[in-house]
């Protein structure tokens, strides 16, 4: 495995499947009484430009479960690229801790951290992608269905960073990926082009549509995310006039397979992109999915920091 975990596209389908199986093993071990302290004495620096509930707590608890520790560094403490250069931050932290997890606005900041750090760097989210979320998403699907190859995974809404990583992991693992987005809110073409190459290798089929009702036909998973991400607040009013037809509600869910599961990376703006009755309904996997962040990240941390 590479030194860093920055982008799903950096890893082969075999590596990703291995991480999923390792995640399941670590989860079962934890449920059976606790994980072995394979990261005892190791510390993860958690660098935040954006606030977070799941990323902060799931990484902190993952380190604790594996016997290590995590150090939270708030936006005001570092001022990444402002108070101090990213290269200097990376080199300073490399002498103090065994790994860096960073949750940033600009993807270039993650790449620069990894360039200058001599220790592993994990992408906790950037404006381009969200690879840790995608691994947890794949874990949730794999755990629920007992397989992932050949399943139909549909994303409805904004072609954002979460959608990019979900498409990548589906294409790498052989799931068919369908996305319905409004015009003007598609994923970056560079990401689509790369995913088509991955799909050709794995046998995955990629489908890009406008109509969410067409998109959800015969799908096993419906996934959505907020219509307005952090950093896009000035666009919120405009987006709220464009995205209502993409709401995941009972009518949309009823048009998918009977066994469909509903996913959302959270936080959810309830009764905007997803209705309460769907988020809290029988098909919802929102909270198992959120909890799987911790278990998927344990596998990443154990591989990068512990050599497991």
Same domain, 144 and 233: yes
CB 222 within 8 Å of CB 253 = yes
Q: Which of 38-52, 83-97, 169-183, 225-239 has the lowest mean pLDDT?
A: 225-239
Same domain, 301 and 266: no
In this structure, is residue 2 part of a structural domain? no
265 classed as catalytic: yes
The predicted-structure confidence for 161-203, as pLDDT tens digits, reads as follows 999 999 999 999 999 999 999 999 999 999 999 999 999 999 9
Mean predicted confidence (pLDDT) in 252-263: 98
**CA nearest neighbour of 73 among 90, 18, 65, 62:** 90
* Beta-ladder partners of 194: none
- Give percent above pLDDT 70 in the chain: 99
What is the predicted pLDDT for the residue at 76? 83
Average pLDDT of the residues of the chain: 96
Mean predicted confidence (pLDDT) in 259-269: 98
DSSP 8-state secondary structure symbol assigned to residue 225: -
Out of 293, 295, 297, 303, which one is annotated catalytic? Answer: 293
Q: How many independent structural domains does the chain possess?
A: 2
In this structure, is residue 1 part of a structural domain? no
Q: Give pTM, 2 decimals.
A: 0.97
What is the predicted pLDDT for the residue at 83? 81
Same domain, 298 and 280: no
Out of 54, 103, 283, 295, which one is annotated catalytic? Answer: 103
Same domain, 156 and 276: yes
247 classed as catalytic: no
Same domain, 175 and 283: yes
What is the predicted pLDDT for the residue at 230? 67
* Beta-ladder partners of 45: 71, 100
pLDDT for 231 beyond 90: no
Could you tell me the pLDDT band of residue 95, with boundaries at 50, 70 and 90?
Answer: very high
Same domain, 278 and 150: yes
CB 138 within 8 Å of CB 24 = no
In this structure, is residue 214 part of a structural domain? yes
What is the predicted pLDDT for the residue at 245? 98
In this structure, is residue 3 part of a structural domain? no
Same domain, 147 and 19: no
132 classed as catalytic: no
In this structure, is residue 225 part of a structural domain? yes
Q: Cα separation of 283 and 224, whole Å?
A: 14
The predicted-structure confidence for 64-81, as pLDDT tens digits, reads as follows 999 999 999 998 888 777
Q: Cα separation of 147 and 190, whole Å?
A: 28
pLDDT for 276 beyond 80: yes
Count of other CB atoms within 10 angstroms of residue 195: 23
What is the predicted pLDDT for the residue at 50? 87
The predicted-structure confidence for 132-171, as pLDDT tens digits, reads as follows 999 999 999 999 999 999 999 999 999 999 999 999 999 9
Mean predicted confidence (pLDDT) in 257-280: 98
In this structure, is residue 137 part of a structural domain? yes
User: Could you tell me the CATH number of the domain that includes residue 84?
Assistant: 3.40.50.1370
Same domain, 152 and 250: yes
What residues make up the domain containing 73?
8-130+293-306
Using CA of residue 77, residue 81, residue 85, residue 89, what is the dihedral sign?
Answer: positive
What is the predicted pLDDT for the residue at 80? 78
State CA 235 to chain mean position distance: 23
Output the six-digit token pair for 9. Answer: 């596209």
The predicted-structure confidence for 36-70, as pLDDT tens digits, reads as follows 999 999 999 999 998 899 999 999 999 999 999 99
Cα angle value 187/149/163 (rounded, 5°): 15
| Helix, strand, coil in percent for the chain, rounding step 5 | 45, 15, 35
103 classed as catalytic: yes
Could you tell me the pLDDT band of residue 305, with boundaries at 50, 70 and 90?
Answer: very high
189 classed as catalytic: no
What is the predicted pLDDT for the residue at 240? 93
In this structure, is residue 204 part of a structural domain? yes
What is the predicted pLDDT for the residue at 200? 98
Cα angle value 105/158/135 (rounded, 5°): 65
Out of 49, 133, 168, 297, which one is annotated catalytic? Answer: 133
Out of 49, 225, 239, 289, which one is annotated catalytic? Answer: 225
Q: Cα separation of 137 and 26, whole Å?
A: 16
- Give percent above pLDDT 90 in the chain: 91
* Beta-ladder partners of 19: none
What is the predicted pLDDT for the residue at 73? 95
170 classed as catalytic: no
């Amino acid at each position: 495995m590479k030194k860093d975990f920055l982008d799903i596209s950096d890893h082969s389908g075999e590596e990703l499947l291995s991480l999923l199986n390792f995640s399941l093993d670590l989860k079962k071990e934890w449920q059976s009484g606790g994980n072995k302290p394979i990261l005892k004495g190791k510390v993860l620096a958690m660098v935040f430009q954006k606030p977070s509930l799941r990323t902060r707590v799931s990484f902190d608890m993952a380190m604790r479960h594996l016997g290590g520790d995590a150090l939270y560094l708030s936006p005001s403490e570092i001022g990444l690229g402002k108070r101090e250069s990213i290269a200097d931050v990376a080199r300073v932290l490399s002498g103090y801790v065994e790994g860096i997890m960073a949750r940033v606005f600009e993807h270039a900041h993650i790449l620069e951290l990894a360039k200058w750090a001599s220790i592993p760097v994990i992408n906790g989210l950037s404006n381009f992608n969200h690879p840790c979320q995608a691994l947890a998403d794949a874990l949730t699907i794999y755990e629920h269905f007992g397989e992932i190859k050949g399943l139909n995974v549909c994303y409805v809404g904004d072609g954002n960073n979460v959608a990019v990583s979900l498409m990548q992991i589906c294409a790498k693992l052989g799931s068919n990926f369908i996305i319905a987005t409004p015009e003007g809110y598609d994923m970056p073409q560079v990401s689509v082009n790369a995913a088509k190459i991955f799909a050709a290798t794995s046998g995955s089929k990629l489908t890009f549509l406008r109509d969410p009702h067409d998109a959800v036909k015969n799908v096993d998973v419906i996934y959505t995310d907020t219509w307005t991400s952090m950093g896009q607040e000035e666009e919120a009013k405009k987006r709220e006039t464009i995205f209502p037809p993409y709401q995941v509600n009972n009518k949309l869910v009823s048009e998918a397979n009977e066994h469909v599961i509903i996913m959302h990376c959270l936080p959810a703006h309830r009764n905007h992109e997803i209705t309460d009755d769907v988020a809290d309904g029988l098909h919802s996997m929102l909270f198992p999915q959120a909890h799987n962040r911790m278990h998927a990240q344990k596998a990443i941390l154990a591989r990068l920091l512990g050599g497991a």
